[in-house]
Structure 1
Amino acid sequence: MPPSSLLITVGSTLFPALTDPLLSPSFLSSLSGLGVGRIVVQYGGAELPAEFLHALQPQSRSPSPSPDEEQWRGVDAQGKGKGKIGDVQVEVMRYTDDFEGLVGSVEAVISHAGSGSILTTLRSRPPKPLMIVPNTGLMDNHQVELAEALGRDGFCAVAAVSELQEQIPLFLQKTDALKTFPERDTHAFSNVVDEVMGFV
């Protein structure tokens, strides 16, 4: 069964080439058709697309909103907020202090190729299906190499920015085909030391 909630994350980088197309009302509508009812977007230092902000339906912060709150478009001065586009609940934030908790709150993740974001997602329990989108605009290609290696091993899906519109629906429909990343071996270092010292 396809995931009903999705996190899109760019870490601390600017990557509007990833977030902007996925925040378009037409794309969010297509996600709704695939059963996604909630999307969380951690978008870093970029600006949110005007089309997205215009389409975001206001949601009150209290049961009896004041006239000022009724005009709230869902995003505050710090770049954090919630709203609805069509049938999809949308939550946006520039950054988070609790990335593990954020990953734990969704059923699948689409991430830039930063190693911290990738490993946190792959090590989450229960496992979260992951699609990695390398930012090829960065100076070196280590992100591409990491993403391709993990993709070859079957731990994640990998897509180029230019393929997102086609690849995300396929990813969401085939998340059960991905392998579970092995649990962290907390004894690995001590095992190596024991072996080197001749204790094993």
Structure 2
Amino acid sequence: MGKDEDSMNSKRVVFVTVGTTLFDALVRAVDTEEVKRELYAKGYTHLLIQIGRGSYKPTKSAGGDGSLAVDYFTFSSSIAESLKSASLVISHAGSGSIFETLRQSKPLIVVVNEDLMDNHQAELAEELAERRHLFCAHPHTLYNTISSMKLDSLIPYPPGDAKPVAKLINRFLGFPEE
């Protein structure tokens, strides 16, 4: 069975997480018809959205008939199961969500919340994107990021090596480079 054939016959889940934050802009962005059509065209079959404290409720759908199945929930005691079953993760820029996803070796699109003041999370996401461990987007650029992403261009994040992250944090805090 070829790769394309295999992906058409299996469940391929896109898991979206906003963590404990309020990030309706991300939920709205993934709930657009153009984003859902693009994900489906790329072989994904299900879209599972964790909406957190947000008030925007995405449109649920059973899928099939040439479209994604869409479901959502507010919180879960652990997103580990959702991460484990995901073929692609779209996440807010929280460091916990980012590193938990990278540890699972899942392709990741980090969406930066432009409403946050003094957004150090954006710097972390942009640095990791520059190192090609993930893709970085904003709510208004999510569709373009999905349509142009090449998953084979990502480089796996080396587990257990905290030096690059510590260096990044030290630089952000203004400590001299060693």
- Secondary structure of the structure 1 residue equivalent to 2:63: strand
Write out aligned runs for 1:1-200 (5 A).
Answer: 4-49=12-57, 52-53=58-59, 56-57=60-61, 83-84=62-63, 87-124=67-104, 127-171=105-149, 174-184=150-160
TM-score (norm 1): 0.69
**Offset, 1:97:** 1.2
- Secondary structure of the structure 1 residue equivalent to 2:28: helix
**Offset, 1:133:** 0.9
**Offset, 1:48:** 3.2
The question of whether the paired residues in 2 share the 8 Å contact of 1:113 and 1:132 is answered with yes
CA RMSD in angstroms comes to 2.2
Structure showing greater radius of gyration is: 1
Q: Deviations over 1:15-56 (max 9, x none)?
A: 11111121124432332222111111111111234xx43xx3
**Offset, 1:85:** 7.6
The question of whether the paired residues in 1 share the 8 Å contact of 2:45 and 2:63 is answered with no
- Secondary structure of the structure 2 residue equivalent to 1:84: coil
Q: Output the CA distance in 1 between the equivalents of 2:42 and 2:21.
A: 29
**Offset, 1:185:** 5.6
- Secondary structure of the structure 1 residue equivalent to 2:54: coil
Q: Deviations over 1:57-101 (max 9, x none)?
A: 4xxxxxxxxxxxxxxxxxxxxxxxxx4385212221111112122
Unaligned runs of 5+ in 2: 163-178
Partner of 2:176: none
**Offset, 1:122:** 0.5
Q: Output the CA distance in 2 between the equivalents of 1:181 and 1:20.
A: 29
